[in-house]
Chains A and B, each alone.
Chain A
């Protein structure tokens, strides 16, 4: 299963709204997670099962979708949210696959 993320880079002003997309080449049901990664750090789980926020994740992060189309929304970008975001499918593993990432940068 190929995971395609868009856009590759998203420029957003602090306080703005970011909408990241992830498309699967075939249905993955709701078996999808989102991660945030900052330079020099391992990924941080944000969302699993397409829409469940992981422990300690602020409410400004939300996930939606099922099947082949998924969205991560960051409602009001804070300075610490500028990072690279990856989606990951785990439907009927193996394999498990990641998208290529979306970089959210300051506009």
Chain B
């Protein structure tokens, strides 16, 4: 069974940092591109970042470019999101998501339940 479990969320002051983790199991993690997608409470979905299967390609939303860094450890079946210089508007549930098996694009067939990041003074 495919499982994606996020951790590392919490309350942080503006300007602070957090590192999110996503533990993957039930599939060959090293073969899949992965992404982070966030959702502010009661709002819509916002793509944050993606990383290719080997980490060679990464991409970021303009809203987080230069502040967030995505990485992965295929030996540990883990995905990470380092978030620096956090702002109030970064408050959201952060989901990790797997690139769809058999798709040539960046659609996502499995999602984690998410971890809540709250940026507040």
Q: How far is the CA of A35 from the CA of B97 in the complex (A)?
A: 13
Q: How far is the CA of A55 from the CA of B110 in the complex (A)?
A: 11
Q: How far is the CA of A90 from the CA of B103 in the complex (A)?
A: 11
Report the count of interface residues on A (CB-CB < 8 A).
26
Contacts of A43 in B (CB 8 A): 37, 45, 95, 108, 111
Is A82 in contact with chain B by the CB < 8 A criterion? no
B47, A96: Cβ atoms closer than 8 Å: yes
User: How near does chain A come to B96, taking the closest CB pair, in angstroms?
Assistant: 10
Is B107 in contact with chain A by the CB < 8 A criterion? yes
User: How near does chain A come to B30, taking the closest CB pair, in angstroms?
Assistant: 21
Contacts of A68 in B (CB 8 A): none
User: How near does chain A come to B93, taking the closest CB pair, in angstroms?
Assistant: 9
B47, A95: Cβ atoms closer than 8 Å: yes
Majority DSSP secondary structure for residues of A touching B: loop
Is A58 in contact with chain B by the CB < 8 A criterion? no
Is B44 in contact with chain A by the CB < 8 A criterion? yes
User: How near does chain B come to A31, taking the closest CB pair, in angstroms?
Assistant: 5
Is A12 in contact with chain B by the CB < 8 A criterion? no
B59, A100: Cβ atoms closer than 8 Å: no
Contacts of A100 in B (CB 8 A): 44
In chain B, residues 94-114, which have Cβ atoms closer than 8 Å to a Cβ of chain A? 95, 97, 100-101, 103-109, 111-114
User: How near does chain B come to A38, taking the closest CB pair, in angstroms?
Assistant: 12
Given contacts A31-B105, A45-B108, A48-B107, contact A96 B44 (CB under 8 A): no
A88, B112: Cβ atoms closer than 8 Å: no
In chain A, residues 1-59, which have Cβ atoms closer than 8 Å to a Cβ of chain B? 31, 33, 35, 37, 41-45, 48-49, 54-55
User: How near does chain B come to A99, taking the closest CB pair, in angstroms?
Assistant: 8
Is B62 in contact with chain A by the CB < 8 A criterion? yes
Q: Which residues of A contact B (CB under 8 A)?
A: 31, 33, 35, 37, 41-45, 48-49, 54-55, 86, 88, 90-91, 93-101
A37-B45, A45-B107 given; name 6 further pairs at CB < 8 Å. A42-B114, A49-B105, A94-B61, A96-B47, A99-B44, A101-B45
